[in-house]
């Protein structure tokens, strides 16, 4: 009689009697859906349960014929590497920050070679674009307490017919010793103290008349609110500005005094290389000082802020505060007004100073004495400033000069030029800096019309502006 092998009550199932075991179907992970074990499950794995108490304190069993995974060892070398990388990132960020804060970038090309330069950023005034440049013989910025005489009011100047008198390049008494030169010329040299918006500055001046007219450099008194003159005797006077001309760096002042010792001037056209000279001035705010040297060169074309001047070169020492002082020949005659020295931010430059020849000074001084200004200087009627390369990159600005202010009497104001504009070119000539701006502008005459390319808020505008006389802006 045949028995049903799978009926209830049977001692063995059919699978057991046939020596096999039913295996639940496998899922995608190789485990059965009924929490059983697959055909590939080893005995060690079958004896391990993830829910057993011992599993909390031990790792899963290692399958047969399988090596246990290697533990990743975190050593001190890794921490050192991470520290070095972090330190390097901090250093790089500091360097990049300082780079944009203290330096400007400059791209220049010449002879087919493109050069990339880092230019140290200047904090006050000029921003040189070459290793060696010229700068004014400077005004001294040391404090000058008690320089203003009490009870003296500023002057209302009325011209008394004074002009700059020039004599011959000789002396009937012959050459003088250095001691004799100082005694003759020192009474005609004054110290000039200017009260500025942000502090004080000082320079030197030369008395040109007994009635109190004094000549000095324009950059010595530029922007001054009050000017005090100290005579060699120590007496102080408030000074009024008669007029100034930044193109020749000449200014004329007036003090309320009589009986002063006027300097003797000589024609500088007779100066030759090798002539001995001395300089008397007020360097470093240390009262009058005299230095000596020779004429190193004549008719030197020197550019500063886009203005080219023809100057005399000397190796007599010039320091901060000498600006506006006399360059004197061996006969005790003034042949020039010191105003510049050669400087370098990369190496030491000594013995290269410059002075404005008296032949240049006279016509400018005479016009200032007569009219209070020098006519015929072309101007757009705006004040401009350089744009640093770092600012140009950060704000994505084009190459040009930044408009700081606009004179309301100018044609530029009437044509809509405004603060914040960037002037990129004049008559299609690029002007990437104030230097080029002045150089290009000085090629035109008062009354001419020029075409400006102006950048404003992402848009380029073309504006035609009539040049006016700079002297009439104020």
State the DSSP string of 23-41: -PPB-TTSSBTTS---TT-
**Mean pLDDT for the chain overall:** 79
Residues 244 and 178 in one domain: yes
Provide mean pLDDT across the span 317-344. 92
In a domain, 69, yes or no: no
Neighbours of 349 (CB within 10 A): 14
The continuous run of DSSP H or E covering 80 comes out as helix 76-102
Residue 411 among the catalytic residues: no
Please state, in angstroms and rounded to a whole number, the distance separating the CA atoms of residues 313 and 316.
Answer: 9
Please state, in angstroms and rounded to a whole number, the distance separating the CA atoms of residues 281 and 216.
Answer: 11
Residues 51 and 78 in one domain: no
Residues 404 and 357 in one domain: no
Please state, in angstroms and rounded to a whole number, the distance separating the CA atoms of residues 277 and 332.
Answer: 9
Residue 219 among the catalytic residues: yes
In a domain, 10, yes or no: no
In a domain, 260, yes or no: yes
In a domain, 126, yes or no: no
Please state, in angstroms and rounded to a whole number, the distance separating the CA atoms of residues 454 and 421.
Answer: 7
Residues 143 and 219 in one domain: yes
Q: Which residue has the tokens 């040391």?
A: 142
Please say whether the dihedral angle defined by the alpha carbons of residues 364, 367, 369 and 374, taken in this order, is positive or negative: negative
Provide mean pLDDT across the span 93-107. 57
Residues 344 and 395 in one domain: no
Out of 371, 402, 422, pick the residue that ends a domain.
371
In a domain, 276, yes or no: yes
**Domain limits for position 94:** 74-121
Residue 233 among the catalytic residues: no
For residues 263 and 188, the answer to whether their CB atoms sit within 8 Å is: yes
pLDDT at position 264 is 96
Domain CATH code at residue 216: 2.40.10.120
Residues 348 and 452 in one domain: no
Tell me: pLDDT of 108 over 80: no
Please tell me the total count of domains within the chain.
4
Among the listed residues 219, 268, 388, 425, the single catalytic one is: 219
In a domain, 8, yes or no: no
Domain CATH code at residue 440: 2.30.42.10
Residues 295 and 422 in one domain: no
Among the listed residues 245, 249, 386, 421, the single catalytic one is: 249
In a domain, 3, yes or no: no
Residues 331 and 415 in one domain: no
Pick the range with the lowest mean pLDDT from 38-47, 88-97, 375-384, 450-459: 38-47
Please tell me which residue, 103 or 451, carries the higher pLDDT value: 451
Choose the most confident range, by mean pLDDT, from 6-20, 99-113, 259-273.
259-273
List Cα–Cα distances, 145 to 117, 136, 142, in angstroms. 42, 24, 10
Among the listed residues 323, 388, 410, 425, the single catalytic one is: 323
In a domain, 321, yes or no: yes
Residues 247 and 358 in one domain: yes
pLDDT at position 174 is 87
């Amino acid at each position: 009689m045949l028995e049903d092998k799978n009926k209830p009550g049977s001692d063995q199932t059919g699978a057991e009697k046939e020596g096999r075991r039913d295996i639940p179907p496998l899922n995608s992970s190789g485990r059965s859906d009924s929490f059983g074990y697959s055909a590939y499950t080893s005995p060690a794995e079958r004896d391990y349960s993830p829910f057993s108490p011992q599993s909390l304190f031990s790792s899963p069993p290692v399958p047969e014929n399988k090596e246990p995974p290697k533990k990743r060892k975190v050593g001190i070398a890794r921490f050192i590497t991470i520290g070095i990388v972090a330190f390097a990132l901090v250093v790089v960020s500091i360097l990049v920050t300082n780079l944009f804060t203290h330096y400007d970038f400059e791209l220049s090309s010449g002879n087919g070679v493109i050069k990339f330069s880092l230019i140290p950023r200047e904090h006050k005034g000029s921003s040189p674009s070459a290793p060696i440049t010229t700068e004014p013989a400077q005004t001294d910025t040391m404090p000058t307490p008690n320089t203003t005489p009490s009870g003296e009011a500023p002057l209302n100047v009325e011209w008394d017919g004074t002009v700059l008198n020039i004599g011959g390049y000789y002396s009937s008494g012959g050459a003088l010793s250095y001691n004799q030169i100082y005694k003759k010329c020192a009474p005609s040299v004054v110290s000039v103290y200017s009260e500025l918006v942000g502090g004080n500055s000082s320079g030197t001046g030369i008395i040109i008349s007994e009635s109190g007219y004094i000549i000095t450099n324009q950059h010595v008194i530029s922007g001054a609110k009050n000017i005090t003159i100290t005579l060699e005797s120590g007496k102080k006077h408030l000074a009024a500005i008669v007029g100034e001309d930044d193109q020749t760096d000449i200014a004329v002042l007036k003090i309320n005094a009589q009986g002063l010792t006027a300097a003797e001037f000589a024609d500088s056209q007779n100066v030759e290389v090798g002539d001995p000279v001395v300089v008397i001035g007020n360097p470093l705010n240390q009262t009058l000082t005299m230095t000596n040297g020779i004429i190193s060169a004549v008719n030197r074309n020197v550019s500063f802020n886009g203005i080219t001047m023809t100057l005399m070169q000397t190796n007599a020492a010039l320091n901060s505060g000498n600006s506006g002082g006399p360059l004197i020949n061996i006969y005790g005659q003034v042949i020039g007004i010191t105003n510049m020295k050669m400087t370098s931010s990369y190496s030491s430059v000594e013995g290269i100073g410059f002075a404005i020849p008296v032949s240049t000074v006279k016509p400018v001084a005479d016009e200032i004495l007569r009219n209070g200004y020098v006519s015929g200087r072309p101007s757009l009627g705006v004040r401009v400033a350089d744009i640093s390369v770092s600012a140009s990159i950060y704000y994505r600005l084009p190459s040009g000069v930044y408009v700081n202010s606009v004179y309301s009497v100018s044609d530029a104001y009437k044509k809509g030029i405004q603060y914040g504009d960037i002037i990129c070119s004049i008559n299609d000539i690029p002007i990437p800096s104030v230097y080029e701006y002045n150089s290009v502008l000085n090629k035109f005459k008062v009354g001419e019309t020029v075409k400006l390319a102006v950048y404003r808020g992402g848009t380029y505008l073309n504006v035609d502006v009539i040049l006016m006389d700079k002297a009439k802006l104020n």
